[in-house]
Structure 1
Amino acid sequence: MTTWQPVCPLTAVPPACGVPALVDDDPVAVFRTSEDELFAVGNIDPFCGAGVISRGIVGDRGGEPTVASPMLKQVFSLRTGECLDDPAARLPTYPVRLHADMVEIAHPC
C-alpha cells in the first residue's frame, strides 16, 4: 500500500530549482522544471555522501530532465535517478504529484 505525504506548497519550489525534504526520514530532493514537471530523487550525492542534490543545477541532456550535483558535477536523470556520467551510480526516485497546490511524495507504508 502506498500513501502520499504532503511535502510543501508548489510555490515553495521555484521553476528550475529544487528543495530538500524528509519523507519517512529519507532525505529527498524535490525538483520543478521550467516546464512545471515535478520530480523527486534522493538528496544524498552518491559520490561524496553529502545531502546536496537539492541545490544542484536543473537542466536537460538530450531531452532528459537532469540535475547536476553541486559538489562534483555528475549529472543525474530526474526521471530514473541514473547518473548519466557513470551508469553504475544512481539516486533513488520517488513518485511525486501535485494535489490541491501541495506537492506530495508517495511512500510505502
Structure 2
Amino acid sequence: MNWVRVCRLEEILPGLGVCARVEGRQVAVFRVGERLFALSNLDPFTRANVLSRGLVGSKGERLYVASPLLKHRFDLESGECLDDPNVRLPVYAAKLEEGEVWVGVPVLEAARAGA
C-alpha cells in the first residue's frame, strides 16, 4: 500500500469532506465523528468531481454522502450507491497518524496511475 499524506485532521471539519489529489486521482476524504473515509470524488452519474462537497447523512447504520448535483447517495464504507446498487465508487483506506490524514492506494493501482 502506498500511503499519501492529505492534510492535518483539523483541516477537515466534522461531518464534511475535502478533495485531495492522490496518485493522480481526485479522492474525497470525509471526517465523521472519529472516523475517516476516502472514496472517489467523481460522481458517476454526472461525471463531475464534486462528491467532496456532498452532504453526509445516514440510513439506519449506513453512513453515506449525497452528491450535491443529483443527490445520489453513496455508502462511505463500500462506495455502493444506495439509489442504484449496480453503481459503486472506488474506496480507499484512510488513517490518522500523529494528527495527519493519510490515504492508501494499493501498490498495483499506484503503479498504473504513474504509468
Q: How far apart, in 2, do the equivalents of 1:89 and 1:71 lie? A: 16
State yes or no: 1:92 paired with 2:93.
no
Describe how 1:1-109 pairs up with structure 2 within 5 A: 2-33=1-32, 35-109=33-107
Instruction: Read off the aligned partner of 2:99 and give its amino acid letter.
Output: D
- Match of 2:95, SS state, is strand
Q: Output the CA distance in 1 between the equivalents of 2:6 and 2:75.
A: 21
Unmatched 5+ stretches in structure 2: 108-115
Counterpart secondary structure, 2:17: strand
Q: Distance in 1 between matches of 2:11 and 2:99?
A: 10
> 1:81 and 1:40 mapped to 2: Cα distance?
9
TM-score (norm 2): 0.90
Compute the displacement of 1:48 (Å): 0.3
C-alpha separation in 2, matches of 1:51 and 1:58:
16
CA RMSD of aligned residues (A): 0.7
Q: What letter is aligned with 2:55? A: I
CA deviation vs aligned residue, 1:62-93 (integer Å, no higher than 9, x gap): 11111000000001100000000001111110
The structure carrying a bigger helix percent of its residues is: 2
Partner Cα distance (1:69, 1:29) in 2: 11
CA distance in 2, matches of 1:79, 1:26: 19
Q: How many residues align?
A: 107
TM-score by length of 1: 0.95
